[in-house]
Structure 1
Amino acid sequence: IYMRKNNLGSPTEFEVVTAIGFLYFKEQAVDFLVLEVGMGGRLDATNVVTPVISVITTISLDHQQYLGNTLKSIAREKCGIIKPGIPVVAGTQETEAMTVIEETCDLLKCSLTKVINTETDKLPDVISYRPVSDDVKGMIFDINAPKNSFPSIEIGLIGRHQLDNAATAVGAVEALSLTGTNINKNAIYSGLKAARWPGRLEILHEKPTVLIDGAHNIAGIKALKQTLEQYFHNKKKILVLGILQDKDYKQMLQYIVNVANIVISTAPDSPRALSAAGLSEIIIEIFDDNAIRVDIKDADIGEKVCSDALIRVYTEDKIEDAVNLARSLAAPEDTIIFAGSLYMIGHVRALLKNI
């Protein structure tokens, strides 16, 4: 009503859901609320609150049509969540993004704790970490934080980028002490060990291994590729892709397609989706002599006669059909990967959880 009276138009779905969330959290009298920004920060509906801590995770290129085409411009939007005098924790950043964060903290007189992805001695404003071991069940690593050291922390997530996220979370917990709240080390250890992230490098099945990942930008695709090369480098890989047309899909495809033996193009359930046929065309165009289109009805023949050096490209308009095709082409020792869009991953996860 206020928005209409002041000619501000009607609230968006995200703004309505955010308001409902605020009301619910108030009714539940939560002790802490981890409030994640929807997009950007400065103009986001969540930014009406004054937090006890502001956390900025690693900034990468995404939503450029709204936030700008450089890390610097995106960082400015992200820094909109920083409030005067409120402690800030920043995950590992490229130099141009970190410079913006540092300048904003100086201007608003905020303490800043930075995560770096190398081991270092204790410093008053730095969190560093060192990997110890990792496999498809999770990772173990050491953290040096300004107040405490955390040897042999376990997390049940895969992907080296999760080490940075975990270190950032530890930084946020340590920053809480600046506000008079202390959380014991045992809670930090048990919390990180129990952490799960559905749809993000999540292994749903084995024999064959089925991995789903909501990677939908360059940074996410790079993390997915690194994970596949690290854990599944000697496995035959079937990659099922569905991508939105407003993403940097050509660059995403250049990074990820060549890790697979088979690619199945499909389309997320969204009006913004790139069509399955259009996606296949682009893959064939990019990889030229290294990829070959295989018709669905000739799938068995295609798999027998195609050289292993060629990436076989299939097209399935419906996600359900893409899931079924991937499963039919996979041997027990193979790996099936679903990626490219959170819209698609939600759909795929619901389908595969019932199998």
Structure 2
Amino acid sequence: MQDFEPHERPIQPPADPPVPPANTPDRYQAAIDYIYRRIDYERTSLRRRHLADFKLQRPDELLRRLGAPNQQIPAVHIAGTKGKGSTAAMVAAMLTGCGYRVGLFTSPHMVRFEERMTVDGQMPSAQQLCALTDRVREVADVLQAEDPAMAPTFFEITTALAWLHFVEQEVDIVVLETGLGGRLDTTTLCRPLVTLITSISYDHTALLGRTLAAIAREKAGIAKAGVPMLSSVLDAEPARPIAAACERVGAPLYRLDHDLRLTTHRATDDHVDDPDLPRYTVDVETPWRRHAGVPVPLPGIHQATNAALALAAMDILNENGFPSSVASLASGLAASRCPLRLEVMERKPLVIVDSAHNGASIDALCRTLTDIPITRRIGVFGTSRDKDAAAMLERLDGTFDELILTQYLSNPRALPVGELSAIAGSLSTPWKTADSPQTALELARASAGGNDLICVTGSFFLASETRELLLPVEERMTPTGTST
């Protein structure tokens, strides 16, 4: 039985205007505009797409003609429905803490496009991005002229830019977060020393499949012969296809609660920087080492699992040319930061932004919020057209004392607040609507007392827009491109 929507051929990108002369004020914006004129599935409803739209032949040829930068640096490759961004940030921080030069590739970005490709936490400069774009554009335009079906997409261009940047910056290792799925994701064209699958839950079902097993098969496509895979997927239905994929290609599989042992402890106040949120320490035992009493840098019990997987990845790297001490791992982990994951922006009232965007991640968020000693919980919620808004609202219902439904403004995938209101009709929690994140925030603040909590969630895009509104003016970044 077919798990996917009927195929649509991708619309070819429009012809590009001439590139402005070098060292002109318009050069940077021209580079950003060129990137965003590619087909961009982050801005297109995935319900209208089919896996046949995603072909590794295209990015593979693009990267080959650029000198195969993706084969020049070893990688840590991370897939999963949720948790992959946090785990990638933890692995990168630990590698940096051990003295290695580390490239980190993530998506989407919050404000500036360059956030997707950092080296030891630093984005490429405008000048560097322009030079990189010129190199990629020269090859991509030739590919498109030879065969319009070979015109690279936004994500394929972005991945190529990142690899070129990492090679130019002479990084020692790259940490890669998949964009979507795994089997046909452009990031799969890498040379990993270890692969990780953080979780499997329902998301992008129109594209990846309508069962957990189908979604797991797509994400397990990152498995490679002889490369160890770490998995924290516990449910039997998605775990089986992951094990089958590893067996098929000859990848050693190490599973949480089988080969990796995790014990979690609630951290005392003297172990945490932010006593408002529940924090944890972990004891992690892998086939290679034991890590005792390691503080988890991000709040929430689900982050303990991500930290355990990240520590196990470092143990495998320790055996494969990237030695590290247990002490350096703990200090590096403590330095990791991952915005929009239960990120505290203000206090009195406590204001949190979180990028949960499916039923499982909303569940994890609600479990954490109910453990915070506050008087009332006010939720600001908005999501995308291709997400299961009803399932998320069902989980929020009862956790919050009041909900404010809104929509983000930076991306056409936003679910209009009118449609969201229709879905919310059966909620028992009182709710109201706002036409923008700014208005929603104003309504929430007007309703909240000093001992209350405001949480903005439902979409990475909503969380990132709201985060910018909450930052001091001097800390806000100038947006680039047409999407956050």
**Which TM-score tier does this pair reach, normalised by the shorter chain?**
0.7 to 0.9
Unaligned runs of 5+ in 2: 1-141, 268-274, 474-484
**Structure 1 residue 243 corresponds to structure 2 residue 373:** no
**Structure 1 residue 338 corresponds to structure 2 residue 456:** yes
For residues 334 and 327 of structure 1, what CA distance do their matches in structure 2 show? 10
Instruction: Report deviation, 1:137.
Output: 6.1
Contact 2:264/2:281 (8 A) holds in 1: yes
**Structure 1 residue 31 corresponds to structure 2 residue 172:** yes
For residues 59 and 139 of structure 1, what CA distance do their matches in structure 2 show? 23
Change (3 A) 1:4 1:162: farther
* Aligned match for 1:349, one of 435, 448, 467: 467
One-letter amino acid matched to 2:397: V
Q: How is 1:7-86 mapped onto 2 (pairs within 5 angstroms)? A: 7-86=148-227
For residues 228 and 236 of structure 2, what CA distance do their matches in structure 1 show? 20
| TM-score, L = length of structure 2 | 0.64
One-letter amino acid matched to 1:222: D
Contact 1:91/1:115 (8 A) holds in 2: yes
Change (3 A) 1:178 1:104: farther
Number of matched residues?
Answer: 323
Instruction: Report deviation, 1:71.
Output: 1.2
Task: Please name the residue that 1:127 is paired with.
Answer: 260
Task: Please name the residue that 1:327 is paired with.
Answer: 445
Task: Please name the residue that 1:274 is paired with.
Answer: 415
For residues 289 and 164 of structure 2, what CA distance do their matches in structure 1 show? 36
Instruction: Report deviation, 1:156.
Output: 2.3
For residues 73 and 4 of structure 1, what CA distance do their matches in structure 2 show? 36
Instruction: Report deviation, 1:280.
Output: 2.5
One-letter amino acid matched to 1:349: R
Task: Please name the residue that 1:305 is paired with.
Answer: none
Relative to structure 2, which stretch is displaced further, 27-36 or 181-190? Answer: 181-190
For residues 209 and 320 of structure 1, what CA distance do their matches in structure 2 show? 17
Contact 2:224/2:250 (8 A) holds in 1: no
| TM-score, L = length of structure 1 | 0.87
Task: Please name the residue that 1:114 is paired with.
Answer: 255
Task: Please name the residue that 2:291 is paired with.
Answer: 150
Relative to structure 2, which stretch is displaced further, 325-334 or 130-139? Answer: 130-139
One-letter amino acid matched to 1:20: L
Deviations 1:224-249 (CA, angstroms, capped at 9, x unpaired): 111111224x5201100111121111
Deviations 1:62-99 (CA, angstroms, capped at 9, x unpaired): 11111101111111111111111111111233212211
One-letter amino acid matched to 2:447: L
For residues 14 and 313 of structure 1, what CA distance do their matches in structure 2 show? 37
Q: Give the share of equivalent positions with the same residue, in percent.
A: 35
Unaligned runs of 5+ in 1: 117-124, 291-310
Contact 2:278/2:368 (8 A) holds in 1: no
Instruction: Report deviation, 1:110.
Output: 1.6
Deviations 1:129-151 (CA, angstroms, capped at 9, x unpaired): 11221461632121122122111
One-letter amino acid matched to 2:232: G
Work out which structure has the larger RCO, using CA pairs closer than 8 Å and 6 or more positions apart in sequence: 2
Instruction: Report deviation, 1:7.
Output: 4.4
